[in-house]
Structure formats: C-alpha cells, structure tokens
Amino acid sequence: MASVDTVPQSLLYALASEISIAARDLTLFIRDTNAAALQDNQAGSHDIPSNAHADISRTKAALIEKTMAVQQLIMSATDVQQQMTLQTQQMAAVRWICRFKVADYVPGAGSMSYNDLAIAASVPEDQLTRICRMAMTAGFFREPVSGEIGHTHTSVDLKSSCAVHDTFKFMTETGHSVVSKLPEMTEATVKANQEGKADKSITAFNIAMNTSMPFFKYIMSNPELAKQQAAHMRSVGAAEESHVRHVLGGYDWGSLRSGAKVIDVGGSTGHCCVALAKEFPSLRFVVQDLPPVLSQAKIPDDLKDRVELQAHDFMTPQPAASKGAEVFFIRQCLQNWSHTDATRILQNILPAMDKDKSRIVIMSAILADASDPSIGQREKGISRMRDLFMMMAMGGQERDSQQWEALVKDADAQLEISSVNKPRGSVLSVIEVKFKPDSWAPV
C-alpha cells in the first residue's frame, strides 16, 4: 500500500481531508456541549442543537455536502441505482411506520421484543420486523440485541406527537403520489397543447389526487393534510439550509424604527415572526395566512401583544389595517405560484405600501447557474427538488435572477430590487424590493 506521501493530489483526497477537519471541529463541539454523545454512536447522536452557533451548523452542512461529493466521485451507475432503490425502500418503510404509529409504542429508553411491538401496533410481526430492519438502515430504530427493538435519536422524532412525523407523512403519502405522476403530467400538458388548451395548467398533483382543485385549496379542505403541511413548513424551517436563523441575520431588522410593523404575508403558523419578535423587541408583527393554517399557530404568551394572527388571502388586496406597514415580508411563498399569480400577489401588496417607507422583503431561493462550481450538488439538488415540486404540485417555479427581476418589474414598473443578500449557509436569499426613489416625485 502507498504511503500517504506518495498519494497523488486528487479531488477525492482533498475532500477526505476537508471531511477530516470538519469531523474534528464537530467532535470538539460535541465534546464541549454533550460529551456523552461521543460514546453513544446511535444515529443522530452527533447532531447539533438547532440553536447552535452558525459556524458549527455550517460545519455540519459541509460534512453532509462533502460526504455526498465523495460518494458521487466513486460510485458507478449501478451503485447509484442501488442507492436510489435503497432510499425508495427506506422511504416506504418510514411511510409504513408513520401510518401504523409504530414509534409511539417503542419505549423511550431500553428496548422491547418485536412480538410485543407487533401486538401493540396491531400489525403482523413478520412485516413489522422486516420493515423496521429496513428503516434501521436509514438510522430509524436499532436492534441492541437480536429480536429487540429500541429507539435511536432520530426514530424518537417519528412519534405521532412530533412535527417530523407529520412532515414525513406528508412527504411519503401526498408527496410521493405526486412525484410518481411526473410523466403523466407531461403527457397531459402535451395533449392540452395539441388541443389548443395551453393555458390550462395540469399538475402532477391534480392527476395524483384526481382533483381539479389547486394544491393549497385542496390541502386546506382537509384538516389532517393542513396540519401535515404546516408541520412540513416548520421542518423545512428547521433544516440548516432554510433555517429560520437566516431570517434573523439575513436582513437589517435592527435598522427599522421602534414600533415598526412587519407583516408576514403567507406566514404559516408564525415561526418566523416569533423568532424575529424574540430578537427584536421593538418591532410589531402580523402573521397572515389562511384560517386552517393559523388555527395551528401557537404564539408564546409573552409575545402575543406584539405578534398578531390575521386571516388574509394574499390573492386579495391587503386589509386597510396594513396601510403604511414598514415591511411586507414574504418568505417561501412566491415559488408556489406561476409568474401571473406571483405578479398578482405582489400587486395586492402595493396599494398598502407607503412609497416612502414601506418595502417588500422577499425571502426565496435564487436558482444558481447549473454550471456554477462554487455551489455543491446537495445545495443545487435541494433547490432543484423545490423547483420540481413547485412544478408538480402547483404549476409554480423557483426563479433565477432574471426571473426575479422580471417578476418585480411586471408587478409594477416603478418597483426595483434594491438589495439582495444570501446569508452564509442559507439556500434562500433576501430580496428587498422598493419603489424607485423618483417614482413618487410630484409631477
């Protein structure tokens, strides 16, 4: 075997060295914050707390990105096929586990027999054993001794009381059936074009759910789906790339005057406003969303005087009370809509704006150039995953820089993008939109 000195420089070797440095930094962090985790070695034991410093979150993200880059370098097409098939089955296993609430019956500490678990969950033992053993290959559950099953740090979050359970259910039930209809969506689009009905948007979601209702209308008509979707948004907000932390650091909220009003348009259950309200005690917030989503909101008691919930359909003009608000914040919403609808959403905000002091702050992805080597495949993959899901579920789209410019200009020719900031480690950028300085000069 070659000594380390004689190994030629290669991307593989460079990545492995970077992984080694990141692993050292993460280990030191865990030693200082949760030393017991170093002995644990269960799936999820080396995860970091969601409020960890941004540097350590970036280290974790880099480890995931670089280990994925190493795999891509060394895997053949057959290896990739096996990996994808494995992930498909792992996902099917998690779907089954969530459907039968299996994680609820497993004790928080220690273990139980498959037989007892099968009785508790009312499922056949043979299926339970084989399916849980597949889920173990993805880090969910463990078999400390043969025939016994216990939780790992990750499987605990599959309990039906956890948001992760709801988001997995949404992804594996609704999301999975939508994704499976991608070719049918194209066939329906081609057929509509041939019949001269090109304006009729047919999504994979419409085909999968056998409905002509738009995505959100359908979701909101089913309380269970609305709950899962809201949980999904909270879980997306907890992922490093789209963590709510980037909302805090991504815009100069501190420069707003004391008492300034921030309206979170399509703000879901208020997780962004709650985080902002904790950090910026002089600001006031209004969370706008549809009633079924707002009904899931839990605003902490000490923030209720500064974080208001308001039912509002952003396809209609802003209510009178919004007039003159300093910030109309709209995060992760416009990608759900086509260019025409997204233009309308922005236009519905404009009459409520004070041209002098109001601005729209959009927080969304700006699609990277596929040839940009500075962005890793995982980050590109996550943006593409969102873009495709928007297309399949809602006929929406993620946008590149030119498409954002065009959207703002089509909403109103007097609007302009005044600044763009992409917080480090975030897949979302903060796009500030204002009226052009000369657009309100007396004529």
Ligand X SMILES: C[S@@+](CC[C@H](N)C(=O)[O-])C[C@H]1O[C@@H](n2cnc3c(N)ncnc32)[C@H](O)[C@@H]1O
Among 243, 331, 378, 399, binds ligand X (CB under 6 A): 331
Query: Does the protein bind ligand X through residue 315 (CB under 6 A)?
Result: yes
Beta strands in 77-229 (DSSP E): 112-113, 148-149
Of 336 and 426, CB closest to ligand X = 336
Residue with tokens 């001269």: 196
Query: Does the protein bind ligand X through residue 293 (CB under 6 A)?
Result: yes
Beta strands in 193-334 (DSSP E): 261-265, 284-289, 307-311, 327-331
The tokens describing 310, both together, are 């308001």
> Which residue stretch of 66-74, 169-177, 201-209, 325-333 sits at the interface with ligand X (rule: CB under 6 A)?
325-333
Contacts for 179 with CB less than 8 Å, ≥ 6 apart: 204, 389, 392
Among 79, 302, 313, 356, binds ligand X (CB under 6 A): 313
Among 233, 273, 309, 360, binds ligand X (CB under 6 A): 233
> Which residue stretch of 17-25, 87-95, 152-160, 331-339 sits at the interface with ligand X (rule: CB under 6 A)?
331-339
Alpha carbon separation from 343 to 318, 340, 429 (Å, rounded): 14, 5, 19
Query: Does the protein bind ligand X through residue 250 (CB under 6 A)?
Result: no
Query: Does the protein bind ligand X through residue 237 (CB under 6 A)?
Result: yes
Query: Does the protein bind ligand X through residue 273 (CB under 6 A)?
Result: no
Query: Does the protein bind ligand X through residue 154 (CB under 6 A)?
Result: no
Shortest Cβ 237–ligand X spacing (Å): 5
**Dist CA 264 CA 248 (whole Å):** 14
Query: Does the protein bind ligand X through residue 285 (CB under 6 A)?
Result: no
Query: 56, 364 in Cβ contact below 8 A?
Result: no
**Residue 285, φ and ψ in degrees, nearest 5:** -135, 145
Query: Does the protein bind ligand X through residue 171 (CB under 6 A)?
Result: no
| 3 state DSSP class of 368 | coil
User: What is the three-state SS of 53-80?
Assistant: CHHHHHHHHHHHHHHHHHHHHHCCHHHH
Shortest Cβ 118–ligand X spacing (Å): 38
Query: Does the protein bind ligand X through residue 262 (CB under 6 A)?
Result: no
Residue count, binding to ligand X (CB under 6 A)? 17
Shortest Cβ 236–ligand X spacing (Å): 7
Beta strands in 30-141 (DSSP E): 112-113
Query: Does the protein bind ligand X through residue 314 (CB under 6 A)?
Result: yes
Secondary-structure breakdown of the chain: helix, strand, coil percentages, each rounded to the nearest 5? 55, 10, 35
Of 318 and 336, CB closest to ligand X = 336
Shortest Cβ 214–ligand X spacing (Å): 9
Query: Does the protein bind ligand X through residue 128 (CB under 6 A)?
Result: no
Instruction: Provide the pairing of β-strand 261-265 with 327-331.
Output: parallel
Query: Does the protein bind ligand X through residue 429 (CB under 6 A)?
Result: no
Query: Does the protein bind ligand X through residue 266 (CB under 6 A)?
Result: yes
**Dist CA 349 CA 325 (whole Å):** 10
> Which residue stretch of 104-112, 311-319, 365-373, 405-413 sits at the interface with ligand X (rule: CB under 6 A)?
311-319
Query: Does the protein bind ligand X through residue 333 (CB under 6 A)?
Result: yes
Query: 228, 293 in Cβ contact below 8 A?
Result: no
Instruction: Single out the residue of 362, 380, 378, 373 nearest to residue 421, CA to CA.
Output: 362
Among 157, 240, 289, 326, binds ligand X (CB under 6 A): 289
Q: Which amino acid is located at 43 in the chain?
A: A
Torsion of CA 117, 121, 123, 126, to 10 degrees: -20
- Which residue's Cβ lies closest to ligand X? 266
Query: Does the protein bind ligand X through residue 276 (CB under 6 A)?
Result: no
Shortest Cβ 271–ligand X spacing (Å): 6
Binding mask 178-217 for ligand X (x = CB under 6 A): --------------------------------------x-
Residues in touch with ligand X (CB under 6 A): 216, 233, 237, 266-268, 272, 289-290, 293, 313-315, 331-333, 336
